[in-house]
Amino acid sequence: MGQDVAARVFSRADRHRYREKVRTTLDVFARMLADERFEPARGSFGLEIELNLTDDDGRPALANAAVLEAIADPDFQTELGQFNIEINIAPRQFGPTVFAELEESIRGSLNHAEDRSRTAGAHMMIIGILPTIDGEHLNAGALSANPRYALLNEQIFAARGEDLEIDIRGVERLSTYADTIAPEAACTSVQLHRQVEPDAFAAHWNAAQAIAGVQVAVGANAPFFFGKELWRETRIALFEQATDTRPDELKAQGVRPRVWFGERWITSIFDLFEENVRYFPALLPVCEDEDPVETLTRGDIPELPELRLHNGTIYRWNRPIYDVVRGRPHLRVENRILPAGPTMVDILANAAFYYGLVQVLTEEDRPLWTQMSFSRRHRCACLLARGGGGPGGRARAAPAAARGVRGPRPPGHRPRRARSTARHHRAPLRHAAQRRLMAGRRLPPPLRRRGPRTRGGPAPDDRALPRAHARQRAGSRLAVGLSGRRDAVERGAQVCTLLNGRSEVGRDSVGVDRPHAAQEPDALLGDHRVGAAPVPRHRLTADQPLALEPIDEARHPGRAEDRGVGQLADAQAPAVGAVQRPQHVVPGQVR
């Protein structure tokens, strides 16, 4: 959980000062990267293993202070919960027998610690989530005495403004609320550190991200929490929810969580620290006395405490690390996705698998992460955390894979409907305007005759019929509607010409490209080669104003343009007569 912080109350001035200071440290870090001031990697690596303390019945023992006092070894440190401790393994160089030597060394340390723990009435257990944890062990009284944890708990709930919701849906469902961050203490993990050169950091981090799902599938061992069987690796979901500073409204806005997988491949370690400063407000805005600009200018190595503290409160599954040891700075990739245990052989086998696979991926000519999307890697990790990679996980994941499920879907997701192949039909007429237009055109005869449905073809009542069939289905009703609309357009043109001051308006015979539907409805369904019906010419003079028929709005609500034209004509001149129109060509009133 990082460095110690004294208990205090933060003011608005503290937060403003911290924001400016952390931005300054980010600029100094960028200068250090440009000046290549980092220690060579030399292939060193290290581990951190988190442990659970239990009583004789296997239930959590809130005794880490007494246990650490009894062990009296600086390699063992406190953790968030009083039933947790952590062992830090000294860095080593890769070699042919390094993992065998590491196993012997760690076993010796843990056996000694176990013997000393018994004097305090506790035992040590290595597992991702202790199955015997229940509500009485996850409250404010279960937090360790370190002031940092109480302050962190206070700041997370101040940012969130409400209780934490724990909602995990797996084989069973767990839905509860917590008023502290103590549920995070149930998650114990192994952190794998790898020191890298600045130029090689991006490749190692990208490779670690790319194999996160594989790591979860291989190492999952935490299916139980609060007496329920949930995910194959419940620790992933529990850790994300137990430190979430976002209420539901901020989640809906897309605000990033503090337990974060990331959202893109990177090109430099600077990308990650810049995202930390840009996206996440400070939880512990503690400023130190160091002036990083002055320290770097005089040739010394700055500690950058603000940048490191801020980075320690953003829980990436693969976290960037800047550290200074014996006055020499270096960079590390910290892999945090694996659970602790269940045995030392499992831990070291998972570590060897991780280090070896990352090394192979970084040496490829065409890196794996250039051949896949970042979001797909995240979905894969979540899916494997739910189903795992063992025999049970494969059995649960098989039906989803058979259905083509690629990962968790957001709420409200609707699958696409399967579409017919294009060769079986033409494009449908989707809008009323298209159907009206088709009813007034000269079209070729129907492409298919009505009859029983042929194999592979559309049914007679299919919405996706060809355009000629859509014209048949339109019938005489649409033609009548179009006739009335053409009539209104002609009358509107006469009115507009009259208002423009012309003394005489001539109307030549107009060819209507179809017969009147009321007289010849069969023409729409049969032969399409129908001659135009003539419209006799009538003349209007300036002293003979045009009178328009009143329109029944209840029966013709769609003629908004006709109503406007009629009002304009009435305002200009009184109606004294009406144009005589043959009823067999253009109807006086559409029924």
pLDDT, tens digit (0-9, with 9 covering 90-100), for 10-60: 999 999 999 999 999 999 999 999 998 898 888 899 999 999 999 999 999
Backbone region of residue 121 per phi and psi (left: phi > 0; alpha: psi in -120 to 50; beta: other values)? left
If you write DSSP's letter for every residue of 511-532 in order, what string do you get? -BSS--TTT-GGGGTS----PP
Task: State pLDDT tens for residues 402-418.
Answer: 333 344 444 444 554 44
Closest CA to 240 of 310, 162, 279, 187: 187
Q: Are residues 365 and 488 in the same domain?
A: no
Q: Are 363 and 244 within one domain? A: yes
pLDDT tens figures, 207-255? 999 999 999 999 999 999 999 999 999 999 999 999 999 999 999 999 9
- Torsion angles phi and psi, residue 400, rounded to 5: -65, -40
pLDDT surpassing 70 at residue 478? no
| Residue 451 covered by a domain | no
Domain membership of residue 392 (yes or no) is no
User: Alpha helix (H) ranges present in 119-196?
Assistant: 147-160
pLDDT in tens, 352-401: 999 999 999 999 999 999 898 898 878 888 888 888 665 444 434 333 33
Closest CA to 488 of 373, 416, 340, 589: 589
Q: Say yes or no: 341 and 482 in one domain.
A: no
Residues 165 and 51 grouped into a single domain: yes
Examine residue 1 and state whether it is found in any structural domain, yes or no: no
pLDDT at residue 493, as a whole number: 61
* Domain end marker among 375, 400, 420: 375
**Could you tell me where the DSSP H helices lie in 183-244?**
198-210, 212-219, 234-242
Phi, psi of 136 (to 5 degrees): -70, -15
219 part of a folded domain: yes
Domain ranges, residue 564: 476-572
Mapped onto helix, strand or coil, the DSSP state of residue 416 is coil
556 found inside a domain: yes
Residues facing residue 81 across a β-bridge? 143
Which are the contacts of 508, defined by CB distance < 8 A and separation ≥ 6?
537
Residue 456's CB is within 10 A of a number of other CB atoms, namely 9
Residue 68 has pLDDT above 80, yes or no: yes
Residue 174 lies inside a defined structural domain of this protein: yes
Name the DSSP class of 43. T
Q: What is the pLDDT of residue 395?
A: 36
Q: 464 in a domain, yes or no?
A: no
Statement to judge: residues 105 and 246 lie in one domain: yes
Are residue 44 and residue 186 in the same domain, yes or no?
yes
Q: CA–CA separation, 332 vs 22, rounded Å?
A: 20
The pLDDT of 562-582, averaged and rounded, is 42
Q: Which CATH number does the domain housing residue 103 bear? A: 3.30.590
Same structural domain, 360 and 481: no
Q: Give the residue from 54, 71, 62, 61 showing the smallest Cα distance to 127.
A: 54
Q: Are residues 177 and 62 in the same domain?
A: yes
> How many domains is the chain partitioned into structurally?
2
What is the pLDDT at residue 491? 63
* pTM recorded for the entire structure: 0.67
First to last CA, the chain: 82
Give the pLDDT band (50/70/90) at residue 9.
confident
DSSP 233: B
Question: Is 370 found in the same domain as 507?
Answer: no
The answer to whether residue 212 sits within a structural domain is: yes
Tell me, what's the pLDDT at 384?
83
Q: Are 336 and 317 contacting, i.e. CB atoms less than 8 angstroms apart? A: yes
Give the three-class secondary structure for 76: strand
The pLDDT assigned to 380 comes to 83
pLDDT in tens, 504-514: 444 444 444 44
Percent of the chain with pLDDT over 90: 57
Q: How far from chain centre, in Å, is Cα 199?
A: 30
